[in-house]
């Protein structure tokens, strides 16, 4: 059975995704991304970070995203119950600097905006087509 009890905290143009409250960074790495939905970004980053460091005993991931104009400051890391391994920050940094992951995160984070534009244009086309078909059938 999977647990879905993630805490999403929003305050002062920032979003924090964490398993435990209060969110705590025993280890943290920062990067900057351009645009996208902060919640979608945080979820994708958390998943990839967890896949990379799930063997660290007592690790609980935390991702904080702060809006800074057009860019987003991403702080990824988390709390560790016990001793923090020396290579943990470098493993998280490797995840954040992986270009293929970054492009996938941004694609995913921008997906709904593009989908909404597509759906709106489809609704417009459907309405105009429906109106045209109605004319032909009724002869009006």
pLDDT in tens, 46-93: 999 999 999 999 999 999 999 988 899 999 999 999 888 889 999 999
Q: Does 38 map to a domain?
A: yes
Whether 43 is in a domain gets the answer yes
- With contact defined as beta carbons under 8 Å apart, do 85 and 38 qualify? no
pLDDT tops 90 at residue 117: no
Residue 40: per-residue pLDDT: 93
Spell out the alpha helix ranges (H) of 1-140. 38-53, 88-97, 99-138
Residues 62, 67: Cα–Cα separation, whole Å: 17
Show the domain range for 53.
Answer: 7-138
Confidence at residue 69, expressed as pLDDT on a 0 to 100 scale: 86
- Predicted pLDDT of residue 129: 46
Q: How many domains does the chain have?
A: 1
pLDDT at residue 82, as a whole number? 87
Residue 1 is assigned to a structural domain of this protein: no
2 within a domain of the structure (yes/no): no
Tens digit of each residue's pLDDT (9 = 90 or more) over 50-62: 999 999 999 999 9
């Amino acid at each position: 059975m999977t647990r879905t009890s993630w805490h999403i905290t929003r305050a002062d143009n920032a979003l924090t995704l964490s398993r435990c409250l209060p969110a705590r960074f025993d280890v943290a790495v920062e990067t900057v991304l351009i645009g996208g939905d902060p919640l979608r970004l945080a979820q994708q980053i958390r998943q990839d970070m967890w896949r990379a460091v799930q063997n660290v005993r007592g690790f609980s991931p935390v991702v904080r995203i702060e809006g800074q104009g057009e860019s987003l400051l991403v702080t990824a890391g988390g709390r560790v119950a016990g001793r923090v391994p020396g290579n943990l920050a470098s493993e998280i940094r490797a995840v954040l600097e992986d270009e293929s992951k970054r492009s996938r995160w941004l694609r995913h984070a921008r997906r709904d905006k593009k989908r909404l534009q597509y759906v709106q244009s489809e609704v417009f086309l459907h309405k105009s087509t429906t109106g045209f078909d109605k004319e032909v059938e009724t002869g009006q």
